[in-house]
Structure formats: structure tokens, C-alpha cells
């Protein structure tokens, strides 16, 4: 099964094609503002690099956030459009589980904490517990808040902990200082991917399509001449109001029109 993965939830824009657990082609570009401009040529590049046609794609997977609002919307819109035109399943995965998947074998740590910068001095995180069978399962849902909020949740667990993600790594000194006596039990995945990547989005999407079947209303590729089904959709994981909505709410509260 060939799955196209799209990730525009952070400043690292990426696209990948996988066939089962094999990565056929991938492309990435780091930018705060050029998500839409970069995405289309990257889609064309990975298809050409893999030596296939878009019509050979069996499913589309996309990072639904949390992350950058504009970036998330660009990727989700593109993924929905492609899945609709190709009449294939559409799968949404969140950026925090993508970071954990990229970490691979983490059984030396009891807790895995993916962290993503959501701007305005806030971060998104979730708590994952490693088990004896080598699996990693989420034990606390994705949430957004200050670094203090995140560290309070970590201190409460009192477990050995692996932080993953660029924001956590760049704030290692601050995190160790604020955790205090438990700092000895903290590790930082400096050698691991620092941003969610489309290759792991696609790999997770492949597993999910096989597990759940086609929940998008597409029972298979459309027959020649048959009308397209309703466009498949996925819901973005914002965790908070969009910046524009916050701005207008603040203006209204101050009586500004």
C-alpha cells in the first residue's frame, strides 16, 4: 500500500511516500512562512523521485497539529483535496505522536514527552508511557500551556523521562533547572528528529488504514465515470483558539470595533 504523507504543522515542511514500511521518497524544507509555496513542488518531486503516478497512491496521511495555525491549514487542505480527487482514504495523525514514532526504541525511559512550540510562549505536549513489551502508549492527552504547566505534569509523575522535539532540546538547561532534584532522571533526544516529518506521518497512516479500514467513505478507487464521493475531511488539533480569533476577542473585550 502506497501512502502519501504531508506535514506542514511546524516550520519543517515535508512530504513522503511509503510503501508498507519502506520509504520510497521524501522531501523537506524549513520555513516559517512558505508552507504553501513549498508544498506543491515537493509533492511533485516525491512522486517523480519514487517513479510513480499520483493515481498509484492508495491513501493520504496528514499531520493535523498541534503546531502553527497557518501551516496546519495548508497541509490539511492539500491532503483533503488530494484524497478527494484520488478517491482514497484520508488519515489524520497528530504531531506529538509523530515525534514519538520518530524516537523509535525508548524502553530505557519510563516516560516520553514530545514538545512542540506553539508560539506566544506556550508549548504543546503529551505524556507517553513505555511498557515492558516495547510499546509506547499515551497516558495523558495533548494539551497546550506554558513550560511551567508542562514541567508540573512531568514532576507529578516522578519517572525517568525522555524529552523529544526541538523546543525541549533548545531549553534543556531551563528544564533541568526548573525540574530540580528530579533532573538526574531527564534525558533529551538530541540525536532524534527534532520536528515531525512526513515519513513518520505516512508510516503511521499506513498502520492506521490497515487497522481501521477505510473510514473516509471511500470503499476503494472510483469506477470509471462514477461521481466522486463527498470530500474526506480531518479535524485540525488546535488545542486553543486561532491567533486571529484571540485578537478579535481581545479587541471586543476592550470595546474596539
pLDDT along the chain (257 residues), means of 10: 96 96 95 82 97 97 94 95 96 96 82 92 92 80 94 88 94 89 83 95 95 56 49 87 43 43
The predicted structure's pLDDT at residue 200: 97
pTM of the predicted protein model: 0.85
Hunting for cell 488546535 — which residue is that?
238
Domain containing 66 — which CATH number? Answer: 3.30.420.40
What does the alpha-carbon distance between residue 144 and residue 50 come to, in Å, rounded to a whole number? 37
How far CA 164 is from CA of 39, 54, 80, 188, in Å, comes to 25, 33, 29, 6
How far CA 72 is from CA of 4, 44, 75, 192, in Å, comes to 16, 20, 5, 23
Would you state the cell numbers that stand for residue 212, as one nine-digit string? 481501521
Q: Which of the listed residues 188, 211, 239 is the one where a domain comes to its end?
A: 188
Domain containing 179 — which CATH number? Answer: 3.30.420.200
Q: In 3-state terms, what secondary structure has residue 61? A: strand
The radius of gyration of the chain from alpha carbons, rounded to an integer in Å, stands at: 19
- DSSP letter at 29 equals E
Q: Are 38 and 13 in contact (CB under 8 A)?
A: yes
Count how many domains the chain has.
2
For residue 176, give its domain range. 104-188
What is the H or E stretch that residue 20 is in? none
Amino acid at each position: 500500500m502506497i501512502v502519501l504523507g504531508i506535514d506542514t504543522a511546524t516550520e519543517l515542511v515535508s512530504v513522503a511516500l511509503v510503501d508498507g514500511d519502506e520509504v520510497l521518497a521524501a522531501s523537506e524544507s524549513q520555513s516559517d512562512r512558505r508552507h504553501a509555496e513549498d508544498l506543491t513542488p515537493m509533492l511533485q518531486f516525491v512522486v517523480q523521485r519514487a517513479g510513480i503516478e499520483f493515481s498509484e497512491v492508495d491513501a493520504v496521511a496528514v499531520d493535523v497539529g498541534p503546531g502553527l495555525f497557518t501551516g496546519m491549514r495548508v497541509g490539511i487542505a492539500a491532503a483533503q483535496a488530494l484524497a478527494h480527487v484520488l478517491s482514497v482514504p484520508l488519515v489524520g495523525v497528530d504531531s506529538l505522536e509523530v515525534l514519538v514514532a520518530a524516537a523509535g526504541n525508548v524502553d530505557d525511559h519510563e516516560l516520553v514527552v514530545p514538545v512542540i512550540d506553539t508560539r506566544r510562549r506556550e508549548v504543546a505536549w503529551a505524556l507517553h508511557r513505555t511498557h515492558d513489551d516495547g510499546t509506547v502508549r499515551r497516558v495523558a492527552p495533548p494539551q497546550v500551556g506554558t513550560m511551567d504547566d508542562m514541567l508540573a505534569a512531568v514532576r507529578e509523575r516522578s519517572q525517568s523521562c525522555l524529552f523529544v522535539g526541538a523546543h525541549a532540546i533548545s531549553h534543556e538547561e531551563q528544564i533541568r533547572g526548573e525540574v530540580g532534584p528530579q533532573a538526574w532522571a531527564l534525558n533529551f533526544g538530541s540525536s532524534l528528529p527534532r520536528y515531525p516529518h512526513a515519513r513518520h506521518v505516512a508510516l503511521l497512516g499506513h498502520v492506521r488504514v490497515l487497522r481501521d479500514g477505510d473510514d473516509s467513505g471511500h470503499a476503494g478507487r472510483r469506477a470509471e465515470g462514477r461521481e466522486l464521493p463527498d470530500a474526506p475531511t480531518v479535524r485540525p488539533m488546535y488545542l486553543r483558539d486561532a491567533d486571529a480569533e484571540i485578537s478579535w476577542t481581545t479587541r471586543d473585550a476592550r470595546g474596539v470595533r
